[in-house]
Every structure is written in structure tokens, then in C-alpha cells.
Amino acid sequence: MPTVSMTVNGQAVSGEVEDRTLLVQFLRENLRLTGTHVGCDTSQCGACVVHVNGDSMKSCSMLALQAEGAEVTTIEGLASNGELNPMQQAFMDNHGLQCGFCTPGMVMSAMDLVAKNPNPDEATIRENLEGNLCRCTGYHNIVKAVQQAAKTMGG
């Protein structure tokens, strides 16, 4: 089996994978970083979103081998010393999560959104989170959370 190497949450990692192994499988199975979730098999739900070289990416839509040499950040890589980052804090403050299954992907997508658009209005937030399904929250509080995070993150 081929070997793949990349940097995940600041640490150099490598592992053996099949050609068909998806990045999300590598993260979950090889590295046991189970914060990244799998909610579908058609790249439609966004539960698996991580950052690859600074951009949000559905990690089920990419082979592990394609991430050779990449800088990958997962939900586990956002906090420092166990402290929630401003986006995570905003989700907590605004009750932007219920069952928490969509949440890692939602937070990673929202981080990317705010990084690229520091001052998004409601319509922009909704449009940009269109690739992340949530069955619990009805999105209302997720939108509020992203608005708060955009403010605290200096938008």
C-alpha cells in the first residue's frame, strides 16, 4: 500500500493507505481524529469539512493521497489549550448546535467564510453555509453564531 505524509493540526503524520482511501477515512481511521464526521456518500452534507492548505474542503471528496504534503486542519486543531476558539465559542453562546454531528463541519466552513468575508450579512452567511446540512437547529442559531464570531474575530 502506498504511504501518504501530510501535516495535520501542526503535526507531521504519515500512514499507509489504499489508493481509494478518502482523506476523511485517513483522518478518522488512521489518525483516530474522529471529530471530523461522515454524514453522506455523495459529498452533500458537509459534516466532513476540514481545511486543506487554508481552504475549506469536504474531506470525503478528496483522496488521502491527494493531500500528500498538505497542511490539514481539523476541528481538533482549532482550540488552544482546550479553550474554544471564537467561532466555537460563538456556537456555544448562541446554541448553534444540538446533536453536534454537523457541528465540526459547520464550524470549519464558518471559519473559512469569516476568513474570506469578515463582515457577512445574513444572506451571505446562509448562502455560504449552503453546503452544510443540519437537521437539528433549523440554521437560525447557526446564523447568529457566525454573526457573533465575525464580530469578535475582528470583522
Partner 1 sequence: MAENGIGASLKRKEDPRLLLGKGSYVDDINRPGQAYAAFVRSPHAHANIKSINSTAAAAAPGVVAIFTGDDMAADEVGPLICGWAISSKDGSPMNMPHHTCLAQGKVTYVGDHVAIVIADTQEQAKDAAELVEVDYEELSAVVGTADADAAGAPQLHENAPNNTCFDWHLADNKADVDAAFAGAAHVTKLDILNNRLVPNAMEPRAAVGDYERSTDSLTLYTTSQNPHVARLVLSAFFGIAPEHKLRVVAPDVGGGFGSKIYVYSEETACLWAARKIDRAVKWTADRAESFVSDAHGRDHVTTVELALDGDAKFLAMRCSTKANLGGYMSLFSSAVPTYMYATLLAGQYTTPQIYAEVKTVFTNTTPVDAYRGAGRPEATYALERVVEAAARELNIDPAELRRRNLIQPDQFPYETPVVHTYDCGDYGASLDKAIEIADYAGFAARRDQSKAGGKLRGIGFSNYIEACGIAPSAAVGALGGGVGLWEAAQVRFNPTGNVTVFTGTHAHGQGHETAFAQVVADQLGVPVENVEVVHGDTDKGPFGMGTYGSRSIAVGGSAIVKAGEKIIAKGRKIAAHLLEAAEDDIEFTDGNFTVAGTDKALNIGEVAFAAYVPHNYPEGVEPGLDESAFYDPLNFSFPSGTHICEVEVDPDTGTVEIVNYTAVDDFGTLINPMIVAGQVHGGIVQGVGQALTEGAAYDPDSGQLVNGSFMDYTMPRADNVPSFNIDTTETPSPLNPLGVKGCGEAGAIAAPAAVMNAITDALGTENIDMPATPEKVWRAAQAAG
The angle formed by the CA atoms of residues 132, 4 and 112, to the nearest 5 degrees, is: 25
| CA distances for 103 relative to 2, 89, 136, angstroms | 32, 12, 10
* 48 interacts with, out of partner 1, ligand FES, none, CB within 5 to 8 A per kind: ligand FES
C-beta of 154: minimal distance to ligand FES in Å?
A: 27
- Cell readout for 96 is 448553534
In this complex, which beta carbon is closest to partner 1, that of residue 15 or of residue 131? 131
Contacts with partner 1 in 2-21 (CB under 8 A)?
Answer: 18, 20
3-state secondary structure of 111: helix
- 143, 148, 149, 150: residue in contact with partner 1 (rule CB under 8 A): 143
- 99, 121, 122, 155: residue in contact with ligand FES (rule CB under 6 A): 99
C-beta of 8: minimal distance to partner 1 in Å?
A: 12
The letter for the amino acid at 65 is: L
End-to-end distance of the chain based on CA atoms, in angstroms? 46
Binding site for ligand FES (CB under 6 A): 38-40, 43-48, 58, 60, 97-103, 134-137
